[in-house]
Structure formats: structure tokens, C-alpha cells
Structure 1
Amino acid sequence: MFTHPDGRPLRPGWLSHRFRTLVRKLGLPSVRLHDLRHGAASLAGAAGVELKVIQHDLGHSSAVTTADTYWTVFRELAHGAVAATAELLRSHADLG
């Protein structure tokens, strides 16, 4: 939650408007404030952060919600994990 210096809460619409203004002013690609949440969760998943940790950080009621929302990222991670495991098995087979 974001607040004014005196502790009053900021209206979500004001924060979104301010964010859009800053993005435009800085010449950044168009992105919504909410997209940063998705980006953070995706980066955490790509970095190998456990699903339960990501779920907690996002405030989802269950890991299923998190997994369903970010299934594309997690699917890519799963493919990478399978490839890495297969490579490990191949390298050990060559040693024997």
C-alpha cells in the first residue's frame, strides 16, 4: 500500500496515472503498473524461486493460482530442467 507523507492512502487510479506519466516521460515501452507484478513473478520463477515463495509474495490463496497464472514461464523452466537432467545423465554415462 502506498501512502501520502501524512499516512493517507493513495488512490490506485492516481498511482496508475502517475506511473503511465513517468513511463511516457522516460520514453519506455508502454507497460501497465500491474505488468510489473507479472514481470517480478516471472523473473522469480526463472531464477528458481520456489512456487510457494512466489505464491506468498503475490498474496495468492494457493500455489495452484500462481501456477495457473504463470504456467508458460514455469513450463519453460520445466523443459530446461528436463534438458539439464538429461545432459547430466549423458555426461555420467560417458564416464562409466
Structure 2
Amino acid sequence: MKDHQASGARRGMRRGTKYTVPKYDPASGDSYRPGTSFDPQTAAKLIRMSAAVNMSISGFLNALVEAVEEDPATNTPAGWPQATQLREAG
């Protein structure tokens, strides 16, 4: 099998590119499997936190999103910082 990563070909969008709306229908009942990229420091933090609570990465992220309160006016997490305070993984 050809190793696509070694050839320089990338699957999906490059990190830091503008968000695109996922093509997912929750009514389908299928699990949503987003592809994500984490910079090394954030990945290490995610792994440490997941291990500390004895959860898989997927289980931890599911629990984290479930625990966050959503602002009904903006659909953003309550208390979410302004866009200028955020940075994309690069």
C-alpha cells in the first residue's frame, strides 16, 4: 500500500484554513468522526488530561463538549473569547 503521507500528499484541509461546515446529518444516527490536528504541545496536554481521568481521547472530547454550556444567542461556548484572542493550530 502506498504511503500517502510520505509522498507529501495531504488528506483534508491544511491546519489553519478557514472552517467549512461539515456535511453531517445528526438524524442519520451515525457517529460524527471529525479529523482534527493538534500542535505538539496541545496534543501532549490532551493526552495527559485524558489519561488523568482514565478516558480515551474520543471519550474525553465527548465529555468536554457535553459539559460546556452553549450560548443560545451565538451558538458559541459560554464565555468564549473574542476571535482575536484565539489562534489556529499551525
* TM-score, normalized by the shorter chain, greater than 0.5: no
Structure with greater helix percent: 1
TM score, norm. by length of structure 1? 0.25
Higher RCO (CA-CA < 8 Å; seq separation 6+): 2
TM score, norm. by length of structure 2? 0.26
